[in-house]
Amino acid sequence: MNRISFLKNLLGVSLIPTATVAAATAKPSVTPPNLAAEAQRVRQELLAAWKMSEKMSLVTASQMPAEHYGFKYASDAFTYARQWKHCCDFTINQLASRLSIANPYGNNNEPEKMDKAAIQAEVKMMYAWVRKAIETTPDAALFANSEYLGDDIPTWRLFYAMENHIIHHRGQCMVYLRMKGVTPEGYIGW
């Protein structure tokens, strides 16, 4: 499902009365009639979405000068580097635990250093890991429901939720860039 279809479906669901939504969310996961074909279609769409996400993330991460990777606008805010590290940690931890796949961080998510080169390498690693997770998640598991933020969603939607979380932090990173006098690269497409 591409983002436009996803958003149309989401908008359509948001207009359904609350009682109907509550009843719909209580249903067990739905397995499509042709599971293999539908799983392959979903995988291709996820891979395309994550490819563009990676491209935009790497462009945005590369724009901040190395000396400003420790910049934060307030004492309680993430540094620029921590914004990216958080994206990697959160994405991998959420998917690894829900899909029961090996977490490359093990029990230690803290890097020894968080300079520009280390963060860019980590972002690339996270995207490669997500691609592998998309490619190797069993067909039925893509359509199995998983709890996320109080909702019961199919696993394929969890991949979109993780990408949406990255978009949230990438947007914050663009503000950090502007605060350091860097004009962020414009939207590069879907």
Is residue 94 domain-resident? yes
Q: What residue type is 45 in one-letter code?
A: E
Is residue 77 domain-resident? yes
Q: Please give the model's pTM, rounded to 2 decimal places.
A: 0.81
Is residue 97 domain-resident? yes
130-159 pLDDT per residue, tens: 999 999 999 999 999 988 889 999 999 999
Do residues 46 and 105 touch, judged by C-beta distance below 8 A? Answer: no
pLDDT band at 25 (very low <50, low <70, confident <90, very high): very low
69-108 pLDDT per residue, tens: 999 999 999 999 999 999 999 999 999 999 999 999 887 7
Is residue 107 domain-resident? yes
Is residue 109 domain-resident? yes
Is residue 189 domain-resident? no
Is residue 154 domain-resident? yes
Is residue 185 domain-resident? no
- Domain with 96, as residue range(s), is 3-179
Give the span between the Cα atoms of 55 and 69, in whole angstroms.
19
Domain with 174 in it: what CATH number? 1.20.120.450
Considering its fold, how many domains does the chain have in total?
A: 1
Give the span between the Cα atoms of 103 and 115, in whole angstroms.
22
Do residues 71 and 176 touch, judged by C-beta distance below 8 A? Answer: yes
